[in-house]
Chains A and B, each alone.
Chain A
Amino acid sequence: MALKKTDSSKLLMAVCSSVPISDLLDRASQGSDKLHALSTIISQDLNSHFPPIGQVIMPRPSMCHTSSLQTPSDKQQTLQVSESDLLSLARSLLQAWSDPLLMGPAAQTISLLPFSGGNDIGQDRISQLINFNFLLSCFRRDSHKIDSFLKVLRCRATKAQPQMC
């Protein structure tokens, strides 16, 4: 009986061919592209409500909650990172943003977010907006990181198809 089982499982493995990595990465990078596009549009829309001078001098309350993650900071560094490391970085970033309100030291500042249901007194509202804007900028940056890493991986996986790069 056990022998038969392994035979059938082997047979299943032979019949089900795996999806090529290039296809998976292509699909993933399409998703990250959309994600980054959305975050860009939203943060630009929010910035348009501030006076131009306010955008520039806006204080940063703290570091992004994902700052602790060591990511490459230019093209050369990025291309030197191995594929598995790039993939794990992308995955960690995505995981960090699955529920950002729980993560890191920024959690205290985020408590002032509009939807926390607190009192809307003038001063609070501005700080709420500032904090929310800050959160969005962190998200935009991280989504761009994820997008860039996946696209580099996709290009590496499709050596035969230069149009994918």
Chain B
Amino acid sequence: AEWIHRFSLPTCPLLAVLHNENTNFIRIIVSIAGQFFSSGHTNNWAVLVCTSRFWFNYRHVANTLSVYRSVKRLGIPDSHIVLMLADDMACNHRNPKPATVFSHKNMELNVYGDDVEVDYRGYEVTVENFLRVLTGRLPPSTPRSKRLLSDDRSNILIYLTGHGGNGFLKFQDSEEISNVELADAFEQMWQKRRYNELLFIIDTCQGASMYERFYSPNIMALASSQVGEDSLSHQPDLAIGVHLMDRYTFYMLEFLEDIHPASKTNMNDLFKVCPKSQCVSTPGHRTDLFLRDPGSVLITDFFGSVRKVELTMDAINLTDPIKQMEENPVNGEEQKEVYSYADQLPVSEIIHQKPKQKDWHPPDGFILGLWTLILLVFFKTYGIKHLKHIF
């Protein structure tokens, strides 16, 4: 008998095991498998950044977390997501419902959830750290969860939100990143072969100015407003007291909630999200640097994740069932040393503790100068002939 696991389209884990008889099935499966890699990427990454601090910028954290939630739901694992939140809203003391971040008033959707891993938080979200993550130039002791370990077959989604202006994005109210810096960072990524295709989404005021300067290939960019326009926030919640989300990301979240890992929706639908009637600002996009036609790019190419697929035609023999073993009493020799716990507050020992010997350092510059001055004055007053009495 033959049996196949059900497989769906690119974003589901897949292991097809077939019986040897029907080769037609094998041909069909191989041809479907060929479609998996038609977009050219083998793994997906996401870099989601919220750059604003302070409680009244709650909506920026909610924006980033809602994209995080969608991206996780569609398959990208935490190890492939670099999430940077500049301030903590969920456990902020002003939050009337701790450990929650809501996207919709009446507290319908908690985008923070119970399973969230923030890689860069608080003061760590700086322009320097963001550029280092993109270009990969991190100190050697940086842990894996804080690195963007992408290769030349990775599709990367980069989402930025915060306060911005014409040509810059403000980080934490104290520094800015300009569109030239960002374009250069992407060019470094291209030259180091750190991405296959890149989708850049920005939700700030005058967001379109941030993608004006891009010059590297295979970048598609979306922004929530054109130069000269402000991106507006959606609606406040009277219980929490602040605006919960920005309009563009709110409608984008609504759009993404309808996407599932097997969707065939393409980028042209994403460009239509939040028209001027809903957003008040005019969202923009830029596709001239992108090689493929946006109509053939699936949403799941960036928001979902390709899993590693192994097709095999042979049956696999499982090993013997694992047997539990009884403990063998260890007959070692009698060890001489008996361990004991340390005394937590040995008063007499502490009182009689000798001060530790400090390492000898050569005398400081001031001391040397002082002694030189004294010697000079001495020889000046008493004459050089006294030297022979010293040496």
Bound pair: A and B? no
State the B residues within 8 Å of A (CB).
Answer: none
State the A residues within 8 Å of B (CB).
Answer: none
